[in-house]
Amino acid sequence: AVLKASQDTFEATTDLQTEWIERRLNTKLKAAVERESKNLQFAQQDNLMKQEQKLQGQAAKLAKTYADSIEDRLQQKLDSAIRAASLHTHTEFEERFVGMTNKLKCDQVALKQDLRDDIQTNAAKLETKFQLQLSDFQAASTTDNNNLKHQIAQLTAATDRLNARLSAVKNQAAEGKDFTYSNTDGLTKKVLNRVTSVPVTSATTVDPVTDIATTSHEYQHLSGRRIDVQSCVNTDSGDPAVLTALNQISLGIQALLRKQLTP
């Protein structure tokens, strides 16, 4: 019984020791597990931090690479768009330039044609106008020349008659015969009236150059006749009224001739 009691006590003690050992072991194991768990947790956290840092670095690299890639692609797209826009603008500019050049050429041709037509029309009008003016001038010049020649012929005839009368007056004065003042005055008035009231009508066409030359010759001839009249006036011979009429006729002839010879 004692042995059994000892055995029971030993077993109980053994159980207690075993239980105590188990508790201690469990406590140590739990502490070790906790410590190991903490170490593992720390290691995992450290590893996670390292992995996170590594991932962040890789993410930064990937982000930079992606950003560079996006920038490159955007730059390429932008360059392509700029080239396309520049090519389109250049093509459109060339098309517009060619169109404007063709339009300007057409407008220039049309303007030249209009200008040529206007010049031809105006030239024809001017030619017609000048022809009419030339015809009018030639007709007026011919009429004036004919009138002047007719008047010169009348004045020449009157001068010849007055010179003949003057010669007769000189001869009669030399013979002692006198003329009455009233008769001489009537002769002077008659001559002057015939000169100033000569009808002028002519339809004959006369060359202006030939007519001017003829008029110049008649002017020289009549100027020579005026010398006779002036010499008679200076010598105080003959009827004063006749001499005055001759002088007026000579002056009128010279005035008409100067008017005709003046261009």
pLDDT at residue 98, rounded to an integer? 92
pLDDT at residue 84, rounded to an integer? 92
Task: Map out the domains of the chain as residue ranges.
Answer: 136-261
Residue showing tokens 């030239």 = 123
| DSSP per residue, 85-118 | HHHHHHHHHHHHHHHHHHHHHHHHHHHHHHHHHH
pLDDT at residue 188, rounded to an integer? 46
Residues of the chain with pLDDT under 50: 177-238
pLDDT at residue 32, rounded to an integer? 83
Rounded CA gap, 187 and 165, in Å? 10
Give the residue among 103, 107, 83 at the shortest CA–CA distance from 95: 103
End-to-end CA distance of the chain: 191
pLDDT at residue 102, rounded to an integer? 92
Rounded CA gap, 223 and 249, in Å? 11
pLDDT at residue 241, rounded to an integer? 61
